[in-house]
Amino acid sequence: MNRFRNHVVRAGLEALYFSGAHVLLRPILSGIGSIFMLHHVRPPRDIEFQPNQHLEVAPEFLRAVLTHLRSRDIDIISMDEVHRRLIERNFSRRFVCFTLDDGYRDNRDFALPVMREFDAPFTIHVTSDYAEGTGGLWWIALEMVLARASLIEVKTGGILTRFEAHNLAAKQVAFDRLHDWFRGLPSEHDVAREIGALCARHGVDEQAICPDLCMSWDELKLVAADPLVTIGAHSISHSSLAKQSEQSASEEMKVSRARIENALQRPVLHFAYPYGDKDAASRREFALARAAGFITAVTTRPGVIFPESAERLTALPRVSLNGNFQDTRILPMLTSGFASAIRNGFRRVDAA
């Protein structure tokens, strides 16, 4: 289903590109700027089954994005500067801000060198458990399980369900269904229990995933010392805050901030909601982020920044740089705001 959806979206983007509609509507839809969302930046992997490919872009594509922005004379600014421009209502120049979620080591190895080429600031939102080397990245563990399995058995709703995984198409279907099931589990404890059982049955070393992919505190200290880098928070455990009690959700924000500040000895003023969609963060979480002392917080809700966003600083939308659509032809649409406006129902601010 996801593969079909990707083909549909790609075809739609290409149709929009050739229609030129994004050019005509740019003055209306582009707002005052955009916050780009990334996760992994690394060279393409030479493996067949990559259901999480949407979460990674190649360094060459990132370079193409930056080249495009510079050619359009669009400011590339930090989250601190985004905040300043919004509260001061300084909308004289359009801007883009880059944010990278989770704290992957490839952010240092591949994103940072490219950003340095363009003197482009960016923010890394760090999940503090990942920096500790103890966090769970269940979507990556699920990918690893399905890559080696031909049959998966799990109890969903108390019923044993079997998922065929004998070829790439079957593996993708199984991944999509299991991904949705994991996202729908009541708590992160349930997620940890179920993915742990799957990994144990199929010989995947779940505990090695986080240290293998994510930067440690010592590594983050060196990265944070670069003047282009801002470090933000992304919770303690990367859990869905909306599923937690108000106290637990607040602690996820406050404790993650305190941990990062203590480890890196620098203020942490910006937050990214784990998962970040409407099911994971809404009005309660937006208020909790303000109460926790964050001056901005970003969602994964699609959209660009409008002047009205100054009233919703802890509910800021982002534009995803999706690894399934690494085509330079779509870049004018990303900065025009047309693609995100369609996904967002043409609402200027979506902060409910």
How confident is the model over 34-43, as pLDDT tens digits? 999 999 999 9
pLDDT at residue number 350 = 73
185 and 65 in one domain? no
To 10 degrees, what angle do helices 246-264 and 283-291 make?
A: 40
pLDDT at residue number 337 = 74
| 233 part of a folded domain | yes
106 and 77 in one domain? yes
14 and 155 in one domain? no
| 246 part of a folded domain | yes
Q: What percent of the chain has pLDDT over 70?
A: 88
332 and 184 in one domain? no
Mean pLDDT score, 286-297: 98
How confident is the model over 68-93, as pLDDT tens digits? 999 999 999 999 999 999 999 999 99
Q: How many CB atoms lie within 10 A of CB 184?
A: 13
Report residue 330's pLDDT band, with 50, 70 and 90 as the boundaries: confident
115 and 221 in one domain? yes
251 and 102 in one domain? yes
| 280 part of a folded domain | yes
> What is the count of structural domains for the chain?
2
Contact 323, 53 (CB under 8 A): yes
249 and 111 in one domain? yes
- Could you give the CA distance from residue 212 to residue 36 in angstroms, rounded to a whole number? 25
329 and 303 in one domain? yes
| 351 part of a folded domain | no
pLDDT at residue number 14 = 56
Burial of 218 (0-12, 13-18, 19+ CB in 10 A): exposed
Asked if residue 8 has pLDDT above 50, the reply is: no
157, 174, 208 - which closes a domain = 208
Asked if residue 247 has pLDDT above 70, the reply is: yes
Mean pLDDT score, 330-336: 80
107 and 225 in one domain? yes
Lowest pLDDT segment from 77-81, 106-110, 330-334: 330-334
| Strand ranges, E, within 269-337 | 270-272, 296-302, 316-320
Contact 236, 121 (CB under 8 A): no
Question: For all residues of the chain together, what is the average pLDDT?
Answer: 91
Asked if residue 122 has pLDDT above 50, the reply is: yes
Mean pLDDT score, 200-214: 97
pLDDT at residue number 156 = 81
Mean pLDDT score, 12-16: 55
Contact 182, 188 (CB under 8 A): no
How confident is the model over 52-74, as pLDDT tens digits? 999 999 999 999 999 999 999 99
175, 208, 241 - which closes a domain = 208
Contact 273, 297 (CB under 8 A): yes
pLDDT at residue number 13 = 55
- Could you give the CA distance from residue 41 to residue 55 in angstroms, rounded to a whole number? 9
Q: Per the structure block, which two tokens stand in for 172?
A: 């993708």
| 102 part of a folded domain | yes
Range of the domain at 329: 2-133+216-343
| 180 part of a folded domain | yes
Q: What is the CATH number of the domain that holds 333?
A: 3.20.20.370
Lowest pLDDT segment from 17-21, 35-39, 156-160: 17-21
Asked if residue 187 has pLDDT above 80, the reply is: yes
223 and 166 in one domain? no
158, 173, 208 - which closes a domain = 208
Contact 127, 135 (CB under 8 A): yes
Q: Select, from the ranges 5-14, 200-209, 329-338, the one with the highest average predicted confidence (pLDDT).
A: 200-209
- Could you give the CA distance from residue 162 to residue 337 in angstroms, rounded to a whole number? 42
224 and 116 in one domain? yes
| 336 part of a folded domain | yes
45 and 119 in one domain? yes
Asked if residue 264 has pLDDT above 60, the reply is: yes
| 348 part of a folded domain | no
